[in-house]
Amino acid sequence: MAVWALGLNHHTAPLDLRGRFAFALDQMAPALAGLRQSHARHPEAAILSTCNRTEVYCASDNVQIDHTLGWLAQAGDVPAHALRDHAYVLQNDQAARHAFRVASGLDSMVLGEPQILGQMKSAVRAADDAGALGQTLNQLFQRSFAVAKQVRSSTEIGAHSISMAAAAVRLAGNLFEDLREIKVLFVGAGEMIELAATHFAAKSPKSIAIANRTLERGEKLAGRLGGEVMRLADLPERLHEFDAVVSCTASTLPIIGLGAVERALKKRRHRPIFMVDLAVPRDIEPEVKALHDVYLYTVDDLAQVVQTGHANRQAAVAQAEAIIDAGVQSFMHWVDQRDPDGGVVPLIQQLNAQADEWRATELARARKRLAKGEDVEAVLEALSRGLTQKMLHGAMAELHGGDAAHREQATQAIERLFLRGPAR
């Protein structure tokens, strides 16, 4: 089996280009179906889409990178050559290493941030629910989760990390003298908004409001934070009330336009508005940034803030990379073992089938003896002896048959297989 990954992220592509390739979770099933159908061999597939990256992972008996790139370019309505300029393509051990680094937070804008692991798990569940996740990709991702857990527990990779939400609060503190005197509006009610709202709430602002398409989810978050909830449709008329606005929705088009912000500034008599757009694609029209008295930050604008303390964690990175290297070697060994050309998989299947047949025969014999009322200990003794004789029969026959050279080879093989000590 071959494994490959194709993607673009905050290192390789600007925000607006990344926005063209964003997939919401409810889009995953049709997207995965389209991806697999576009390939002649219908590979295993999974799509990871966050504000910082979109990555397509595939596994098949034949690498089909050009088809994958063509499908993704079409999905984002971008020429294939334009996507290729900003994309990275990784195969086999390099694809595995990348997945492990992403899961561990080593490839994130915020080094060691934990949110990406949850996002990867959601992407894997979506692929599994869509029937696109086969055994190879499942192994890849389950091992990436295990490696990430080991990195998190045995290194300090996440120590002193500054999340996007914490960075937003820090920037707001640079603009406003006292965060307790500001009114904050959060647009959306997803994981990123919940995290941002929690950080802002810790500063005890004058008021908090949640604007969301579905009031029920907004009410739940507002209730926990002691804030109010409002309809998204009311946002343009109420925007002027708020000193800080943090937005992160799954909308494919901006929901806060230039005109709405201009009207809000006029009503505020040009008192400043602090705005953070954590969405990809953007929630706030980019032209807003040019307005006087508006301080607009996107996920990419926060990059310098979240790098604070980066150097202090480089020693932990080396430890994490060593853990990842070991994980990659283990995964590739597993892949190699499953190579049909090596004959390993069919042989394992035959061994399992033979062992099951022996077990079933001895169990049936034991049940008959128990049904006749025979002593339980005697039945168990006979069952174990019967299984042992069946397992050793072939080895004994090899030792007693053939010429001296054949018996010597058999002796060495049997010593390796049966005399290695008890399994632990």
Backbone angles phi, psi at 212, to 5 degrees: -150, 155
Residue type, 398: E
Residue with tokens 């053939």: 402
Question: With b meaning 16 or more CB within 10 Å and e meaning fewer, what string describes 65-93?
Answer: eebbbebbbebbebeeeebbebbbbbebe
Q: Is 51 part of the annotated catalytic residue set? A: yes
* Residue 288 near residue 256, CB atoms below 8 Å: yes
Kind plus residue range of the DSSP H or E element containing 72: helix 65-75
CA gap 232, 214 in Å, rounded: 9
Pairing of strands 88-91, 207-212: unpaired
Peptide bond into 422 cis (omega under 30): no
338 alpha-carbon distance from chain centroid = 24
- From 51, 96, 167, 288, active-site residue: 51
Alpha helices in 114-206 (DSSP H): 115-129, 135-154, 164-175, 191-201
Facing residues of 191 across strands?
none
Rg (CA), the chain: 29
Kind plus residue range of the DSSP H or E element containing 44: strand 44-49
Active site residues: 51
